[in-house]
Amino acid sequence: MAVGTARRVIRAARLIDGTGAPPQTDVAIVVAGAKIASIEPWREDLRAGATVYEYPVETVLPGLVDAHCHLSLLGAGLRYEEEIPHSNEFMAVTAVYNAQVMLKSGVTTLRDNGCRDSIMFGVRDAMDRGLLVGPRMLISGRPVTMTGGHFSWCNGTADGDDEIWREIRRLVQEGADHIKIMASGGGTEGTNPGLPSYTAAELRTAVTAAHHYGRLTTAHCRATQAVANAVEAGLDCIEHAEFNGPGDLIEHLAEGPNHKPAWDEEVAKRLADSGTYASLTLPGSGYAAFSQLRDKLEREGTAALTSAERMVLERSEAVNEGRAENVRRLLGLGMLPRIVVSSDAGPFDIEFGKLWQGLEVAVAGGMSTMQALQASTRTAAEACGVLDKVGTLEAGKEADVLVVEANPLDNVRNLRDVVAVFKAGERVVGA
């Protein structure tokens, strides 16, 4: 994407800079090239020789950072086994489409945490060359996983220290920005979200190999023991941070749930006391239906819902409360400075461009709206290793800017109403 050389000024009625400071009113973001030159009180003389974008009633904030998504998946209610037959070419086109959706929603930086083969490296490189317009992309490529493990269909299988080193070397050579490791089972058939996959020692090997090549690590952790293993191994970040144990044997025989909640205060405290970030994928499967039914209820009242819809809404509210309770517990242990809120868009029915849904759950779990916004801007950028470039609006950083109609501090759902998006100083969405 070519960056203009003319001076540009974004005039904001209200500016939330992402640092946690109180909002500023009637200020100017002065842009030079791709970067923010200064942020200062609005003055009429700033118009001289500049293109001025004026937002007299809107709210301006940093471009959002979604630290966990899978662009090559559809987010259309399909199981992984229904996505796997798609060709790599189809998945690449899907990724390009989903990238546009993300950008239009205000996500200017994202971390793709797992694709098949090398699909996403090509998509990222096309974005970087300006052939396509989309968010800034951090790509893991194939997740490192055990034989038969979660996402093994992506072809990143590695068992034991030697194979882990070999796979990470391949990924780095192909262009991986970070290394994603599957530390527990997940939604892939035949895996168990209540059981760890790699041992702490194997995870430590992965961390050593990735850090040797200057790459950050993040691990899929849905099992309590996987969280414990990841913390012991020194992972930079964990995804999901769920606390599950294996289901009872009788449940396996009955083909029922193969995992169950297994909160462990000691393991959670070790996580909170470590330097590991927790990327909480809070919307989760089912939130799309919940959001639609809730909106219908607010518009039309209880009588408009069928009995089946009311049951879905009640079940969804219970699931959301469970996710909010996880946030509440982690906050109580002092985890706030390293909590990231991300979407996990792509698998099952988790939709793209709706990061605000996760922020809703975070607020329900006890975060202030400002803290929730930081969890998808400043803290997310820090966890992804790019806080020197994005995540806050400060002089010297990339001019990645989101403009929304109303103040998201009043209600995080206000992030839905995007007016404009700037990436690296260029307006790429809106007028």
Between CA 246 and CA 224 the distance in angstroms is 10
Same domain, 309 and 268: yes
Residue 334 lies in a domain: yes
Between CA 378 and CA 392 the distance in angstroms is 6
Same domain, 34 and 119: no
Tokens of 311: 């049951």
Same domain, 259 and 177: yes
What is the pLDDT, as a whole number, of residue 2?
Answer: 47
Pairing of strands 24-32, 7-15: antiparallel
Between CA 49 and CA 202 the distance in angstroms is 58
What pTM, to 2 d.p., does this model score?
Answer: 0.96
Same domain, 57 and 195: no
What is the pLDDT, as a whole number, of residue 118?
Answer: 98
Residue 2 lies in a domain: no
Between CA 20 and CA 59 the distance in angstroms is 15
Residue 345 lies in a domain: yes
Residue 38 lies in a domain: yes
Residue 139 lies in a domain: yes
151 conformational bin, left if phi > 0, alpha if psi -120 to 50, beta if neither: left
114 conformational bin, left if phi > 0, alpha if psi -120 to 50, beta if neither: left
Same domain, 51 and 195: no
**Residues paired with 30 in a beta bridge:** 9, 38
Average pLDDT on 172-176 reads 98
Average pLDDT on 283-298 reads 92
Residue 324 lies in a domain: yes
Range of the domain at 17: 7-62+392-430
Q: Which of 394, 410, 300 is nearest to 359 (CA)?
A: 410
CATH code of 191's domain: 3.20.20.140
Same domain, 71 and 37: no
Convert the pLDDT of each residue in 354-393 to its tens digit.
999 999 999 999 999 999 999 999 999 999 999 999 999 9
Same domain, 36 and 83: no
Residue 1 scores a pLDDT above 70: no
Convert the pLDDT of each residue in 223-251 to its tens digit.
999 999 999 999 999 999 999 999 875 55
Q: Which of 111, 63, 102, 57 is nearest to 425 (CA)?
A: 63
Cβ distance 182 to 144 under 8 Å? yes
Same domain, 299 and 404: no
Buried b (16+ CB within 10 A) or exposed e, 68-90: bbbbbbbbeebebeebeebeeee
Instruction: Return the axis-axis angle of helices 307-332 and 287-300, rounded to nearest 10°.
Output: 120
Same domain, 258 and 399: no
CATH code of 419's domain: 2.30.40.10
Same domain, 155 and 238: yes
Average pLDDT on 6-14 reads 95
Convert the pLDDT of each residue in 248-273 to its tens digit.
755 555 555 689 999 999 999 999 99
Same domain, 180 and 121: yes
Same domain, 39 and 103: no
Residue 1 lies in a domain: no
Maximum CA extent, the chain: 74
What is the pLDDT, as a whole number, of residue 122?
Answer: 97
| pLDDT tier, 431 (very low <50, low <70, confident <90, very high otherwise) | confident
Cβ distance 357 to 282 under 8 Å? yes
Query: E strands, 87-223, where?
Result: 107-112, 136-139, 178-182, 216-220
Average pLDDT on 213-230 reads 98
Between CA 249 and CA 252 the distance in angstroms is 5
Buried b (16+ CB within 10 A) or exposed e, 218-244: bbbbbbbbbbbbbbbbbbbbbbbbbbb
Residue 138 lies in a domain: yes
Provide the residue type at 2 as one letter: A
Q: How many domains does the chain have?
A: 2
Average pLDDT on 188-206 reads 97
